Amino acid sequence: MIDFPLDAAFQAKVDWTRAFVREHVEPLDHLWPAPTAPYDRSLTKARAILKPLQEEVRRQGLWACHLDSDLGGPGYGQVKLVHINEILGRTNWGPVVFGCQGPDSGNSEILARFGTEAQKDRWLAPLLAGEMYSCFSMTEPDGGADPTLFKCRAVQDGDDWIIEGEKWYSSHANFCDFLIVMAVTDPEAAPYERASMFIVPADAQGIEFVRETGLFTEPLGGKGGHPYVRYNRVRVPASAMLGPRGKGFMVAQSRLGGGRIHHAMRTIGLVQKCLDMMGERAQSRALRNGPLSKIQGVQYDLADSWIALQQFRLHVLYVSWLVDQGREDDLRLAISGLKVATATIAKDVVWRAMHLHGALGVSNEMPFAHMLMTAAMLGLADGPTEVHRSVVGRLVARQYQAAEGPNPSEHLPSRRAAALRLHPDALD
């Protein structure tokens, strides 16, 4: 059996991470369960516990594991990262304790790739040090999946740019220190050359929260983590532009691949946790003739979940390996395929695990509401499943040519006729 062994030193890090998360990170989830809690600096007691945990992660050399060594990470690459992220995926607080939470991880990538030295000093360095949080403000109320519909404008005024428009689902806009905002600077250009990126300090004049939208597990009117933001003539200097003018789509695209793979890695942990819960429940809940695990339908659910998880984990490792090998040409298809698989497995297994727990499963005494919300989020954030499924279909179709004649190339009478031409005496 192939067991993909890790080197002993890294295996020790993985073992340490598993024990540390169980002992020190999961308790944070239970004390401060709100999805936004890890970003909320007003939770002073939580912050006091968080700081020494982050220090311990640093001492272990596991801080910001997604980063290369030149950016202060260990430079493990993606395949090794799978083993860490799948452990963190069992928790809400894990990514912040280990310095690899979205959207900061993706934002640090684009700051490192496209930032000027001054932008890196001011924003990237404190972001990597865990002293700042950030936001990626791209989706608009009237245009999400299709970014060519974006209307938020940035207009030049002397040496400054003035940003005017609305964004929606700008995750952590109300907890962050700066926002990376995509705005249309060149409306007459080709659709994918119209927008540019700007770094906007969170305390810039003119930023308004129309609503601090939360997820469906959070109370209406509370401080939700995905605000509807209005930029009311927000003025930034020319030096706030991140990356080349008109290349906002290219900058955005370059951060999304990593984010999608990291979501997939964490989803392994989420699904494994559901499978663990299903297995325990199937053995614990007794019916007249024995435990639930004796019921064939329950066995099917366990089997389907286990098989899907094995396939998914190998899929994540494969796409991570493609990234490590620098196989850029293969990544668009691979990452879109993985994005669809991530949302699908999360939805299926979370639902099965919840259902197997009966009424307890839909109560507020089990973690399924947050898990269901995570599964739903995985099908939307970084692009809806349907859009990625179309990308996969399109790119797969592109690998094929139309049949040469009137029949498919595997048409049996035609193949047989060809075989007989090759071996005319073969059949009596």
Ligand X SMILES: Cc1cc2nc3c(=O)[nH]c(=O)nc-3n(C[C@H](O)[C@H](O)[C@H](O)COP(=O)(O)OP(=O)(O)OC[C@H]3O[C@@H](n4cnc5c(N)ncnc54)[C@H](O)[C@@H]3O)c2cc1C
Task: State in angstroms the smallest separation of the CB of 228 from ligand X.
Answer: 11
Distance CA 31, CA 72 (A): 31
The CA R_g of the chain, rounded to the nearest whole Å, is: 25
Shorter beta-carbon distance to ligand X: residue 6 or 387: 387
User: Which of these, 123, 223, 248, 242, lies nearest to 172 by C-alpha position?
Assistant: 223
Q: Which residue has the tokens 């983590």?
A: 225
Task: State in angstroms the smallest separation of the CB of 169 from ligand X.
Answer: 4
Task: State in angstroms the smallest separation of the CB of 359 from ligand X.
Answer: 27
Shorter beta-carbon distance to ligand X: residue 74 or 147: 147
Q: How far, CA to CA in Å, does 54 sit from each of 19, 95, 197, 233, 238?
A: 15, 10, 31, 38, 35
Distance CA 117, CA 121 (A): 6
Task: State in angstroms the smallest separation of the CB of 183 from ligand X.
Answer: 12
User: Which of these, 142, 177, 163, lies nearest to 230 by C-alpha position?
Assistant: 163
Is residue 180 within 8 Å of residue 147, measured between CB atoms?
A: no
Distance CA 101, CA 99 (A): 6
Shorter beta-carbon distance to ligand X: residue 62 or 252: 252
Task: State in angstroms the smallest separation of the CB of 346 from ligand X.
Answer: 13
Distance CA 179, CA 130 (A): 16
Shorter beta-carbon distance to ligand X: residue 78 or 134: 134
Task: State in angstroms the smallest separation of the CB of 341 from ligand X.
Answer: 17
Amino acid at 148: T
Cα dihedral 380, 386, 389, 391 sign: negative
Tell me which residue has its CB nearest to ligand X. Answer: 144
User: Which of these, 85, 90, 83, lies nearest to 4 by C-alpha position?
Assistant: 83
Task: State in angstroms the smallest separation of the CB of 229 from ligand X.
Answer: 10
What's 230's DSSP letter?
Answer: E
Shorter beta-carbon distance to ligand X: residue 145 or 287: 145
Instruction: Give strand ranges (E) for 269-343.
Output: 286-287, 290-291
Shorter beta-carbon distance to ligand X: residue 295 or 377: 377
Distance CA 92, CA 77 (A): 23
State whether residue 131 is helix, strand or coil.
coil
Task: State in angstroms the smallest separation of the CB of 393 from ligand X.
Answer: 11
Shorter beta-carbon distance to ligand X: residue 85 or 174: 174
Shorter beta-carbon distance to ligand X: residue 170 or 185: 170
Q: Which positions lie near ligand X, rule CB under 6 A?
A: 103, 136-139, 144-145, 169-171, 226, 377, 380-384, 386-387, 390
